A and B are shown apart, each in its own frame.
Chain A
Amino acid sequence: MVLPPVSQYHQAKGYGQTPALQRARRPFFIRNTITGLLLLGFTGAVYTYSIMAVKQDDLSDVSMPPPPAENK
């Protein structure tokens, strides 16, 4: 298996960001953060709404079979 080389912008350890990458990302940081928060808010809202609308189902509308006859 051939792996792509680790980008130099993630330092020798292979994770984290070098100062150069942080500088390059700076012009986009605020707008990206806002977009991220908006997306998170939207998915969160959809999730909460659907839970609220459905509520906890007690399954009372499901017809149950008669309880088994007791064995004697």
Chain B
Amino acid sequence: MVYSLRFCVKSSPNNYKTDSQIKLRNDNLFHPLSKSPIKSLQERGELIRKFGKCPVCEGLAKENQKRPSYECSDCGIPTHCSEEHYKHNLIEHKLHTCKMLREFNEDMHDLMSGRKMKEFEFPSSQPLDEEVNMLNWDTYLYTRGFPSIDQDRSLRHVSKLLTYPITIGSVLHQNGPYTLRNRLTNEGLKSLTALRTTLHPKQTSVDIKTLRPAETVRIFIVGARAEAQMPLHIYTQLSYLFPTITFHLHFVGPESLLRGTEPHTTHFNHYLSFTWKNSLYHDYHDTIHPFDPYCDAFFLFNPGIGRNNGKELWEKTIKQLLKTKCAIFITGFDENDMKNEIQTIEEDETFEFDWILEPGENEFKSLRRDIDTEDVRIGVYPNWGIFGIRGKRYDVRHYDEEEGAIEIKEEEEWEETEEIKRIGAGGMTKQRIRH
């Protein structure tokens, strides 16, 4: 009876848009960029023509190098400077790049097709007793009640959008994919347990007398780029994972703001605030002092520490981050990128740190590649891999040596002042016993 009734329920009409608004049908997504019906994609093609490079010309002398202008008929992206060079390089192009670029071409046309993007109808909060399974994208989307995402293409769109907030959420959440048996180290468990006591409070009392003021969890996204420009509502997906917690996200870095915008703070809703700061992190560090490993975490999304002059840019920042003893998570574009980052960090002996999450693939990476305009052969997955470190803590020290004694004294003083500031500033009742 129940079932027969259910079957009668007609699915509501999905297409509110009239035919004139839909520019491209599902079976008509491939267009060479120069002949694309979408203007912004034509411009993208122009950019590649202007700044890209031809893989055959690369081996020639500088004055003979030309920008790509010939579009491969299978992927529709300007890849080579002439048909001659294209034919010369055909096998390599077909083997390594053509498929990836074709996918990129169709994905971008699908995004701009004007169809109703059903997969972007994100769910809002869910009942407290409905747990989220953060094992991978599929279980997350299912247990959070996202619309059923059946096409790989739609999944790519959604993962590209959600990779930043959900990577943060998946690492911190108690049902996250990383456990002691899967890459998390003992030190990592200590760090995450500290954060999780704040993030998953035991709701033992609703009595106003014993109720504690909710703590704000601060997440610092250092060296923010694309993630700082995303529509803010996608970050609500992070706060739906931790329904009672107020988050304050700080986007720090010279590229976190568009040119001509001032640093500012927004209170998006009761649970979410954002701050954008376009100075380098090490200039910002002192203004957000003190730090608390129970409430603060750092995320560096694809920072490029291992690239050409990355070390000099990041050295000061990383030293300060390690000093805070808060958890630091760093992602990379691919295996090589991550290896370089790790090597750079490990090489420097002045960085004293513990591993908290061993390097490996990120379950919540973006499934759509970003194509490099300057060299279309390079297509990377944002947040492909992730690892975590934290400044080393020394619990036992020798008092006989003079140096050691001084060091300890300094640290104690620092923690005292931190405690005083904390009590003075927020009137916090919570006392934490450390060591």
Q: Give A contacts to B, CB under 8 Å.
A: 3, 5-6, 8-9, 11-14, 18-21, 23-24, 26-27
Partner of A24, one of B6, B139, B147: B139
- In the complex, A24→B348 CA distance in Å? 42
- In the complex, A3→B142 CA distance in Å? 21
- In the complex, A19→B142 CA distance in Å? 11
Q: Is the CB of A23 within 8 A of B2?
A: no
Partner of B136, one of A3, A20, A27: A27
Given contacts A8-B148, A12-B11, A27-B135, contact A21 B142 (CB under 8 A): yes
Q: Is the CB of A20 within 8 A of B5?
A: no
Given contacts A21-B142, A27-B135, contact A6 B148 (CB under 8 A): no
Total contacts A to B, CB within 8 angstroms?
Answer: 39
Given contacts A3-B6, A14-B6, contact A20 B150 (CB under 8 A): yes
- In the complex, A14→B4 CA distance in Å? 10
Given contacts A6-B6, A8-B147, contact A20 B142 (CB under 8 A): yes
Chain B 145-165 interface mask (CB, 8 Å, partner A; 1/0): 001111000000000000000
21 cross-chain CB contacts under 8 A: A3-B2, A3-B5, A3-B9, A5-B9, A6-B6, A11-B148, A12-B11, A13-B7, A14-B6, A14-B7, A14-B9, A18-B148, A18-B150, A19-B150, A20-B142, A20-B148, A23-B138, A24-B138, A24-B143, A26-B138, A27-B136
For the complex of A and B, list the 6 residue pairs with the smallest distance between their C-beta atoms, beginning with the closest.
Answer: A24-B142, A23-B138, A24-B138, A18-B148, A20-B148, A8-B148
Q: Is the CB of A21 within 8 A of B136?
A: no
- B-side interface residues, number (CB < 8 Å): 18
Q: In the complex, which residues of chain A have a beta carbon less than 8 angstroms from the beta carbon of B142? A: 9, 20-21, 24
With an 8 A cutoff between CB atoms, is B54 at the interface?
no
Beta-carbon contacts under 8 Å, B2-51 to A: 2-3, 5-7, 9, 11
Beta-carbon contacts under 8 Å, B119-135 to A: 135
Q: In the complex, which residues of chain B have a beta carbon less than 8 angstroms from the beta carbon of A23? A: 138
- In the complex, A6→B9 CA distance in Å? 9
Considering only CB atoms, which chain B residue lies closest to A23 in the complex? B138
- In the complex, A71→B283 CA distance in Å? 117
- In the complex, A68→B89 CA distance in Å? 106
Q: In the complex, which residues of chain B have a beta carbon less than 8 angstroms from the beta carbon of A5? A: 9
Within the complex, what minimum Cβ distance (angstroms) separates B41 from chain A? Answer: 28
Q: In the complex, which residues of chain A have a beta carbon less than 8 angstroms from the beta carbon of B135? A: 27
